Structure 1
Amino acid sequence: MGDDQQHEEDLEAALAPGSRPPLGRYRLDLATGEWAWSDEIFEMHGFQPGEIVPTTDLMLAHKHPDDRERVDSVLKKAAATGEPFSSVHRILDAQGGTRTLAVTGQGRADPVTGRVAELFGYFIDVTEASRGLAQREATASIRAAAQSRSTIDQAKGVLVVGLSLDEDEAFNRLRTASNHSNIPLRQLADRLLATFSRPGTTSFPTREDLTAFLADPRTPSGSPGA
């Protein structure tokens, strides 16, 4: 998953119906670079309300190093255009902890000059939503691994029966064929199962079929067992 998609999903999770993540309001004076924060934003950054004077330099100093350049670019574009924007990024709070924040906002033009004079909007603490997303991704990875393991076990079972091997010997035959053919083990297992379960296959593959497959898994057999 790319960073942009990750950011969008974090923001969607934070704003999902029924969720109530911490939220604070801000205003940025573009002429001075000073920010006005609600109490919640001070707390998100690990400070007591009013403990420091928030500035753009301070804000960028707290951004995670991997996200700092991107956030700076978002702010500069918003300051130039005044168009609505949103971004999700990590910060390092005053205690050194990492938090994930979403920021949304838009510009307000000076009525005399017509130029963007300030940005205003909200900070949303999506740390917990981000953790939930990471947990869901980890769960999906575990499930995918389990599915791969299931495929390999099925292929191993075919070799146990068809070549009269024990489970360790069957796995070693699969691994050897994988190494020699430069085909990843899971893909090799998928290919073995697909080869011997094609339409028209009516019986279990013979020893010769399986031996030929393991010798050259890149060349499908004819119609084993048909």
Structure 2
Amino acid sequence: MMTSKPVHVYSSALGSSACLAGTFYYDVRSRKMLWSEDLFRIHGYQRGEIVPTLELMLSHKHPEDLSHSRQLWTDACTSGGQFCNYHRIIDAAKKERHILTSGEGVLGPSGSVESVHGYVVDFSSTLQREVEAASREAVQRSSVSRGVIERAIGLLMGYFRVDSETAFHLLLNRSQNTNTKLARLAGDLVESAEDRQCTAFLDQFAHELRADSRRKAAAAESARTGEAS
């Protein structure tokens, strides 16, 4: 049986808050799987909403990470041994999460694998905090960049009618999705305002944000329906 004792993760990379972590137990013969409370939460569920299965767990893997994840599970169930996999999942709310799965296939007296057990750690919030902290630090290091970014945030606040924090996240997310430096993206936005092309630029910016959102939704849907196809 899977222990009900919570899993705690300790790492200097986590700062003051521990990551969400859960455990799993899979009986190879019966194909029954047990999840701890936090593993349901990592996948976007509450206990009782669904019956956890290996197939369900794999269906949440990001499409680009599914093949490798499936192979690790196949090897663990047939040959045993330990495995570790850092990858992405799409939870029930279509949110992408970055997780670490570590497990072990346990051999029985007959020499065949009887069970696979292990834990899953969700590093999503930690990664997001590190990205934001690094971005803000970069802003602070350069007064020129800081001024440009603050002006860009002001433009986004007025256009989208949001507060400064939300405007910063919009700018940051677009920077990450396009692999464009934050200061350069902000500079383009400010330059468009100076050239009296701000409305057109912001309209395009909003269009691209919606396109980013649709791509994420499509990836999430693909992750959920990949098995059926």
Q: Does 1:87 align with 2:47?
A: no
| Alignment deviations for residues 139-174 of structure 1 (CA, whole Å, 9 cap, x no partner) | 8999xxxxxxxxxxxxxxxxxxxxxxxxxxxxxxxx
Q: Does 1:116 align with 2:116?
A: no
Could you report, residue by residue, the CA deviation over 1:39-66 in whole angstroms, capped at 9, with x for unpaired residues?
Answer: 1101111111122111111111111111
Q: Counterparts in 2 of 1:85-164, with a 5 A limit?
A: 85-111=83-109, 113-135=110-132
Aligned alpha-carbon RMSD (Å): 3.1
Supply the distance in 1 between the matched residues of 2:20 and 2:89 (Cα, whole angstroms): 15
- Whether the 8 Å contact between 1:42 and 1:50 is mirrored in structure 2 is no
1:28-47 paired onto structure 2 within 5 Å: 28-47=26-45
Q: Check if 1:64 corresponds to 2:62.
A: yes
Give the Cα separation in 2 of the matches to 1:100 and 1:14.
Answer: 18
**Structure 1 segments unaligned to the other structure (5+ residues):** 1-10, 143-226
Q: Is contact 2:25-2:118 (8 Å) kept?
A: yes
Higher helix share: 2
Question: Which letter maps to 1:92?
Answer: I
2:71 maps to which of 70, 73, 77: 73
Identity of aligned residues (%): 31
TM-score (structure 1 length as normaliser): 0.51
Distance 1:12-1:135 versus aligned 2 partners, 3 A rule: farther
Amino acid in the other structure paired with 2:128: R
8 Å CA contact 2:101–2:121 kept in 1: the answer is yes
Contact 1:14/1:126 (CA < 8 Å) preserved in 2? Answer: no
**Rg larger for:** 1
User: What is the rounded CA distance, in whole Å, between the counterparts of 2:61 and 2:12 in structure 1?
Assistant: 19
Q: Which runs of 4+ in 1 moved over 3 A?
A: 11-19, 132-142
Distance 1:135 1:72, change over 3 A: farther
Cα 1:118/1:93, change in 2 over 3 Å = same
Counterpart contact for 2:14–2:126, Cα < 8 Å: no
In structure 2, C-alpha distance between the alignment counterparts of 1:50 and 1:14, rounded to whole Å: 34
Which amino acid in 2 is paired with 1:48? Q
**Unpaired runs of at least 5, structure 2:** 1-8, 140-229
Check the 8 A contact 1:28/1:118 in 2, yes or no. yes
Q: Distance in 2 between matches of 1:96 and 1:14?
A: 29
Give the AA of the match of 2:89.
I
Structure 1 window deviating more from structure 2 (89-98 vs 25-34): it is 25-34
TM-score, scaled relative to structure 2: 0.50
The number of equivalent residue pairs is 135
2:58 partner letter: L
Q: Given that residues 29 and 35 in structure 1 are in contact (C-alpha distance below 8 angstroms), is that contact kept between their aligned partners in structure 2? A: yes
2-structure distance, mates of 1:13, 1:129? 11
Q: How many Å separate the matches in 2 of 1:107 and 1:45? A: 22
Which residue pairs with 1:49 in the alignment? 47
> What SS does the corresponding residue of 1:76 show, helix, strand or coil?
helix
CA contact under 8 A between 2:100 and 2:122: conserved in structure 1?
Answer: yes
Compared CA separation, residues 128 and 76, structure 1 to 2 (3 A):
same
Partners of 1:12 and 1:69 in 2: how far apart?
30
* Structure 1 residue 17, shift from structure 2 partner: 7.8
Secondary structure, aligned partner of 1:31: coil
Deviation of 1:35 after TM superposition, in Å, equals 1.4
Equivalent in the alignment of 2:201: none
